Amino acid sequence: MTTTTDDLPFGLGVSLYSYTDDIGVTMTVEDCIADVADLGATGLEILGEGHIEDYPNPSTAWIDAWYARNERLGLTPTLYGSWIDTRRFPGRGMTAAEGAAQLELDLRLAARLGFSFVRPKIGVISEDLRVDPIWQEAVERNLQLAADLDIVVCPEIHWPTIIKSSVVEEYLEFKERTGSDHFGLLIDTGVFELSPYPRRGGSASFRMGDGSARPPVVPFVPVSDLADVMEHTVYFQAKFYEVDDELVDHYIPWREIIDVVVDSGYTGWLSSEYEGHHEPYRAPDQLRRQHALIRTIAAERAAADSAAVTALADRN
């Protein structure tokens, strides 16, 4: 699927999660969607439970307004974030059948809203985010539905999970066993974090902690590991924390990431997910900085590639 933005080889989008500390404080969901278009992005990622009015049964009027707004703003629905909350029921775990039913509900709603990807956030059982064993049956029961709806189910590889881990191996073994083109990996670029980011603030009353909690040891993940899974990667959440006034990101190595993405021939989405300081007004500015940074790196890469081709032609 080719989803290029302007002259970029990939599509640039934004997750509404980026605006968590603005929604309901300084902006409505509709304001945030308008801001995504204003900053020049073309892809729109949402959280089903968080951003759909009257989830899971939005009104026809809400759905009509959703499509009309996206058409007017030139936005394409990209990824729909969902949950399979395995701790939902007090005193017992969720069964595979219950997990499958929840995923089916969200797949059908995502399809009604025009999404191409669904990320099921599934309950974990370990510090490195090993997923509850019900996940395989819950997802496999829905693979034919996903194919019928033309949606790719993509679990998220999220810090502190590393790419070379049993978690990723389990996903890849599942993909090989099922042979499904409607299952793939979502890479959250936070896995390449160079150093912990000291978050501050938090306007949401439900926020617990300050984001500083860390497992005892998390190995450094080289961006070169990404090349090994690019053929299975269908989506990127372009996680970041801060881009400074000089358009430098000291926490996420964007130049190396963009190199791997371009070298692989990936033409899908990079969907920005701001997760820096928990303060209103900050996300819109930071998103613009990140997109300027990514566009600059991509342009420099394209210029270098063009120069190399010209030099080779001249030698021949």
Residue 287 pairs with which residues in a beta bridge? Answer: none
* Exposed/middle/buried for residue 89 (C-beta within 10 Å: 0-12, 13-18, 19+): exposed
Nearest to 157 by CA among 253, 237, 38, 265: 237
Amino acid at 43: G
Beta strands in 208-302 (DSSP E): 233-240, 269-274
Tokens of 91: 């005193």
Is 158 in the active site?
yes
- Both tokens of 148, joined, read 């019928």
In the chain, which residue ranges form alpha helices assigned H by DSSP? 29-38, 48-51, 60-73, 96-112, 135-140, 143-149, 166-178, 224-227, 254-264, 282-315
Phi-psi region of 58 (alpha: psi -120 to 50; beta: other; left: phi over 0): beta
Cβ atoms of 40 and 12 within 8 Å: the answer is yes
Indicate which residue of 51, 158, 277, 291 is catalytic. Answer: 158
> Please, is 203 exposed, middle or buried when counting C-beta atoms within 10 Å of its C-beta (0-12, 13-18, 19+)?
middle
Tokens coding 20? 């968590």
Closest CA to 78 of 240, 185, 235: 235
Please give the biggest Cα pair distance in the chain: 72
DSSP at 199? -
Separation of alpha carbons 311 and 189, rounded Å:
34
The structure tokens 């070169």 sit at 224
Burial 55-79 (b: 16+ CB within 10 A, else e): eeebeeeebeebeeebeeeebbbbb
The residues carrying an active-site annotation are: 158
